[in-house]
Homo-oligomer: A and B are copies of this chain.
Amino acid sequence: MKKAEKDSKGLTVGKKEDFSTWFSEIVQKAELGDLRYNVKGFLVFQPWSVLCMEKMYKHFERVLQRKGHSPYFFPTLIPEENFTREAGHVEGFTPEVFWVTQGGETKFDEKLALRPTSETAFYQMFALWIRSYNDLPFKTYQRANVFRYETKATRPFLRSREFHWIETHCAFATENDAMKQVEEDMETTKEVLHDTFGLPFIFFERPRWDTFPGAKKTFAADVLNPDGKVVQQPSTHMIKQDFAKAFDIKFKDKDGKDKFVYTTCYGPAMSRIFASVVIMHGDDKGLRFPWEIAPRHVAIVPIDDSKELVEKAQELKEKIGEFAEVVVDLSKKSMGEKFNHWEMKGVPVRIDIGKKEVKEGKLSVFRRDLNKKEVIAEKELMKYLKKVKSESGENLRKEADRLFSDRIVNVSSVSEMKKAIDSGNIARCEFCSIELDGEKCAEVVEKEVGAKVRGTNLKKETVKGKCVVCGKKAGDVVYIARDY
Contacts and interface: CB of A to CB of B under 8 A. Distances in A.
Nearest to A101: B101
A102 B45 CA distance: 24
A151 B75 CA distance: 18
B75 A37 contact: yes
A147 B75 CA distance: 10
Interface in A355-409: none
A143 to B, nearest CB: 9
A104 B39 contact: no
Interface in A93-121: 94-106, 111-112, 114, 121
A329 to B, nearest CB: 14
B112 A103 contact: no
B332 A39 contact: no
Task: Give the interface SS of chain A, mostly helix, strand, loop or mixed.
Answer: mixed
Contacts of A100: 98-101, 114
A296 B73 CA distance: 18
Contacts of A240: none
A95 B105 CA distance: 7
B102 A96 contact: no
Given A36-B128, A105-B95, A47 B70 contact: yes
A427 interface: no
A71 B164 CA distance: 15
A42 interface: yes
A44 interface: yes
A247 B94 CA distance: 36
Interface string A39-51: 1001111110011
B103 A99 contact: yes
Interface in A1-57: 34, 36-39, 42-47, 50-51, 53-54
Nearest to A332: B134
A299 to B, nearest CB: 15
Interface of A: 34, 36-39, 42-47, 50-51, 53-54, 70-79, 82, 94-106, 111-112, 114, 121, 124-125, 128, 134, 145, 147, 149, 151, 162, 164, 332
26 contacts: A36-B128, A38-B82, A38-B124, A39-B77, A39-B112, A42-B77, A43-B75, A44-B72, A44-B75, A44-B125, A45-B74, A46-B72, A47-B72, A50-B73, A53-B73, A75-B162, A76-B76, A76-B147, A77-B98, A96-B103, A99-B103, A100-B100, A100-B101, A100-B114, A102-B111, A104-B149
